[in-house]
Structure 1
Amino acid sequence: MKKALLIIGTIIVFPIAFYLISRQIILNNLIVDQEPKVSDVIIVPEGELTEERANKAVSLLEDGYSRSGKIIASPLDEINGQYYQAAGASSDQLINEPHATSTYENAVYTLEMMAELGYDSAIITTSDYHMRRTKLIYDRVNKDYGFDLTYVAAYHLVDGELVTWQEAPDYVQNIAQAEYWKYWGYLFGLYHFINHEPS
């Protein structure tokens, strides 16, 4: 009887413990923020209707980190296009990658576009909570190219200060919390079977 209870207890406790520990580890390590370096282009995997990605990309552009003077937004739509313009980018500085519907497709289509344009290096910038999964998939897709990629996080403007997702409004924190499940899905390649998954 004791052995049966031990087995049942293990079956119940182990998954819960694994979930709690792995969730803490993943959520505490969502942010990847490398030192920016001058690259051929800046790439922004879009998907959330927030301004921080456009603001960071344009800031990097204005600081001279894009040799081409271009930003590839994946995708560039009417709403985020206004964010880029409000941040100071002109329309001729923006390249639209119009097809991506997921972070996986962001990587596939933008790296393909880099090859077509003859670029060899890029800064990838996206929301801080989105960076770990973005780096995971860009590194995987980049094995077919060998581009020099640098990952720079975009933080959230709150009361005039840039803060991490943990200090951002609740709606940002809720989006970030979902990265736990998305990260596991990407780790195991489930993006091959999921269409139209928001970034």
Structure 2
Amino acid sequence: MIKRRIVISIGVVLFICLIFGVSYPIILNNLIVDEEPVQSDVVIVPEGEEFVRASKAAELLNEGYSHSGKIIVSPITETNIEGYKEFGVEPEQIIPETEATSTYENAVTTLEMMNEEGFGSAIIVSSDYHMLRTKMIYERINREYDFDLTYVAAYHLVDGEFVPWYEAGTGIKEAAKSEFWKYWGYLLGLYYFFNL
């Protein structure tokens, strides 16, 4: 009886290792979700203190992709607001959200804000390596609203050129690799219990 339990336990551990081992390259190779931007009511940025997101959001705003001329920044901080100003976004163009501490909370609060503002469509902008998980959670929360959402990736500036995460510096690559575990956490709904 004890031998059987040990064999079953080893089998379960090996199966879990196999699932993670097989899914690791698949998830990392599909982190970037980058759709063509379309005219939308607002641009939403789930922030992460990376000016690359502010740069892309400002570009879309300046090119007229936001009908309202507004960006919802979640969360807005004293640090990242400077990035938006640097890229030509006026403070009155920012609809601030100040409470979110995770991508899940970004999605919940910004879609609720969209609803309150009467918006029906949005472009979601985040770092390229963050887009797969961002799209997953926004689509889940969007089931309550049925907004038209478009997902546009922000790439990383290296030597004056925008490049994907796997061509960026070590810090970006490490952040991207950590998305594997966060993606699984979101897949399993662990964001209800942990700040992922």
- CA offsets 1:131-151 (integer angstroms, 9 cap, x no match): 000000000000000100000
Residue 114 of structure 1 aligns with an amino acid whose one-letter code is M
1:53 maps to 2:53: yes
Q: Is 2:168 the counterpart of 1:151? A: no
- Does 2:58 match 1:26? no
Q: What is the CA RMSD across the aligned residues, in angstroms?
A: 1.7
Q: Identity over aligned residues, as a percent?
A: 58
Aligned to 1:95: 95
User: Number of residue pairs matched?
Assistant: 191
Cα distance in 1 for residues equivalent to 2:9 and 2:116:
57
The letter of the residue matching 2:37 is P
Query: What runs of 5+ residues in structure 1 fail to find an aligned partner?
Result: none
CA distance in 2, matches of 1:165, 1:176: 7
SS at structure 2 position matched to 1:69? coil
Find the counterpart in structure 1 of residue 81 from structure 2.
81
TM-fit CA distance, 1:15: 3.8
Post-superposition offset of 1:20:
2.1
Give me the whole-angstrom Cα distance separating, in 2, the residues matched to 1:28 and 1:95: 33
Give, in angstroms, the shift of residue 188 of structure 1: 1.0
Taking the aligned partners of 2:84 and 2:26, their CA distance within structure 1 comes to: 33
Q: Distance in 2 between matches of 1:61 and 1:42?
A: 7
Unaligned runs of 5+ in 2: none
Once the 2 structures are TM-superposed, how far is the Cα of residue 95 of structure 1 from its aligned partner? 1.1
Cα pair distance change 1:111/1:7, threshold 3 Å: closer
In structure 1, C-alpha distance between the alignment counterparts of 2:55 and 2:130, rounded to whole Å:
16
Separation of aligned partners in 2, 1:26 and 1:159? 27
Q: Which residue of 1 aligns with 2:39?
A: 38
Q: Which amino acid aligns with 2:45?
A: V
TM-score, normalised via structure 1 length: 0.91
Residue 113 of structure 1 is matched in structure 2 by: 113
Cα deviations across residues 8-43 of structure 1 (Å, max 9, x unaligned)? 986665443332221000010001000100000000
SS at 2:85 equivalent? helix
Please give the TM-score of this superposition, normalised by the length of structure 2.
0.92
